[in-house]
């Protein structure tokens, strides 16, 4: 139940929904490409990504100097439901 609550809180933001929709479409992206897509500063985008990662919605990996983000393979079922709606 706590995981569901964390996921819902993380997804209860328009910018974060745009991030999830973008990552669902492209599968994996850097912070700078996500920031450009949603037209937000690098710093603000990073904060939104941290919330989504902390809730288990996203996972990240470092490739060289870039941090790449993608939708977690072990996300809660509610995230799959939200993805279908986007």
pLDDT at 33: 97
Query: What global pTM score does this model have?
Result: 0.89
The owner of tokens 């706590």 is: 2
pLDDT at 4: 83
Residue 50's CATH number:
1.10.10.10
When divided into structural domains, the chain yields a total of 1
Q: What is the pLDDT along the chain (86 residues), one digit of tens a residue?
A: 788 888 889 999 999 999 999 999 999 999 999 999 999 999 999 999 999 999 999 999 999 999 999 999 876 677 777 777 77
| Own/partner long-range contacts of 29-38 (Cβ < 8 Å, ≥24 apart) | 29/68, 29/69, 29/70, 30/66, 30/67, 30/68, 30/69, 31/66, 31/67, 31/69, 34/69
pLDDT at 45: 97
pLDDT at 76: 65
Q: What is the DSSP string of 27-84?
A: S-EEHHHHHHHHT--HHHHHHHHHHHHHTTSEEEEEETTEEEEEE-TT--HHHHHHHH
Can you give the residue range of the structural domain that contains 51? 2-85
């Amino acid at each position: 139940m706590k995981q569901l609550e964390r996921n819902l809180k993380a997804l209860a933001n328009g910018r974060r929904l745009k991030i999830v929709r973008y990552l669902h479409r492209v599968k994996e992206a850097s912070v700078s490409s996500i920031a450009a897509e949603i037209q937000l500063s690098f710093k603000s985008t990073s904060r939104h990504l941290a919330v989504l990662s902390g809730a288990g919605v996203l996972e990240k990996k470092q490739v060289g100097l870039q941090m790449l983000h993608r939708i977690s393979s072990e996300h809660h079922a509610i995230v799959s439901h939200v993805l279908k709606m986007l």
